[in-house]
Amino acid sequence: MFTREVWRDRTAAPDEPWLKNVSIVGVKQIDRIVEVVEETLKGNTVRLLSRKRPDAGLSLPKMRKNELVEVLAINTGCLNHCTYCKTKMARGDLKSYPLEELVEQARTAFERDGVKELWLTSEDLGAWGRDIGMVLPDLLNELVKVIPDGCMMRLGMTNPPYILDYLEEIAAVLNHPRVYSFLHIPVQSGSDAVLRDMKREYSSDHFKMIMDFMLKKVPNIYIATDMICAFPTETEEDFEESMQLVRDYQFPSLFINQFYPRSGTPAARMKKIDTVEARRRTAAMSALFREYSRYTPERIGEEHNVLVCEMATGE
């Protein structure tokens, strides 16, 4: 039995001694997990880790945490090679699920299962289709056709490079009455120098272009973003550029992460910033986020439709 702390600090390398008698299932074999569990209960150690096998099918059995919400993964893997991230090692290259299968699964969830919300999810929503000769707007335009009245769709996380060419099309979808005006676009840093060291494949100006366009074209859009504080090559000037980006846009949702080296990644081999300084920067950005109001005073008194999909527990 491993504690949460053990798993957080360990790398799942199959040849490590602490994994000697542990059954392991790779992400491309998740559809065989029942078989692995059954064999493990018999006392056998099973390891299914091949990266050459096609990804598990889209229509795997699922148990919804919320019976009113369908979480639909539209692709696995990604096109990026970010220097700080281990997702690429685990998930591999981009593999988009076919448009027809995704639309049918959404239709079934609404019509047969009675869900009220459709959440699109992936490692990078915007990259969908680039491996099968399609682009994200192709999928979104088909999905909105199967959303019944009284139901809504929410888009997941997308990295900046993959939506720059389709801002008009995505804005049109976000203005659809059955689509939430919401985007999660992680910027990670306001410094071009740091973005290059992260291998993020876009500049701060690219991110600002997306922000300015969406804020203009989609009324009351809610844009969430992520920031990494104290990346190894981040100078005080770089950090100030990130702080200024937060001041300029006052993101209503800001996920602030202090850099943590993931073993096996290029960034883990870089010289870390002093821990005290890293904590100071993280605290400073958190304090800045708490300073501003996420909703401007002129919006007080507005009326909006609300879709309730969950009951609160406790008081």
Tens-place pLDDT, residues 106-160: 999 999 999 999 999 999 999 999 999 999 999 999 999 999 999 999 999 999 9
Instruction: Answer whether residue 267 is part of any domain.
Output: yes
At a CB cut-off of 8 Å and minimum separation 6, what does 271 contact?
232
Same domain for 271 and 201, yes or no, is yes
Separation between Cα atoms, residue 151 and residue 3, nearest integer Å: 40
Separation between Cα atoms, residue 236 and residue 137, nearest integer Å: 39
Instruction: Answer whether residue 180 is part of any domain.
Output: yes
Instruction: Answer whether residue 310 is part of any domain.
Output: no
Total of domains in the chain: 2
Same domain for 36 and 128, yes or no, is no
Same domain for 42 and 79, yes or no, is no
Q: How far is CA 72 from the centre of its chain?
A: 13
Same domain for 75 and 52, yes or no, is no
Domain end position, chosen among 41, 56, 71? 56
CATH number of the domain enclosing 257: 3.80.30.20
Residue range 269-311, pLDDT digits in tens: 999 999 999 999 999 999 999 998 877 777 888 888 888 888 8
Residue range 206-225, pLDDT digits in tens: 999 999 999 999 999 999 99
Q: 23 has which bridge partners?
A: none
Separation between Cα atoms, residue 167 and residue 217, nearest integer Å: 9
pTM: 0.80
Q: Residue 49 is part of which domain span?
A: 1-56
Instruction: Answer whether residue 304 is part of any domain.
Output: no
Same domain for 151 and 85, yes or no, is yes
| Residue 6: per-residue pLDDT | 43
More confident residue, 32 or 98: 98
Residue given tokens 């702080």 in the structure block: 243
Same domain for 48 and 121, yes or no, is no
Tell me if residue 83 falls in helix, strand or coil: coil
- Residue 86 DSSP class: -
Same domain for 22 and 76, yes or no, is no
R_g of the chain computed on alpha carbons: 21
Instruction: Answer whether residue 229 is part of any domain.
Output: yes
Pick from 3-12, 75-84, 222-231: least confident:
3-12
Same domain for 110 and 127, yes or no, is yes
**Could you tell me the two tokens for 186?**
């992680």
Instruction: Answer whether residue 128 is part of any domain.
Output: yes
Domain end position, chosen among 56, 75, 101? 56
Same domain for 44 and 178, yes or no, is no
Same domain for 158 and 264, yes or no, is yes
**Could you tell me the two tokens for 27?**
């992400």
Tell me if residue 162 falls in helix, strand or coil: helix
Same domain for 189 and 102, yes or no, is yes
Same domain for 168 and 287, yes or no, is yes
Determine contact, residues 128/136, Cβ cutoff 8 Å: yes
pLDDT class of 24 with cuts at 50, 70, 90:
confident
Instruction: Answer whether residue 182 is part of any domain.
Output: yes
Instruction: Answer whether residue 287 is part of any domain.
Output: yes
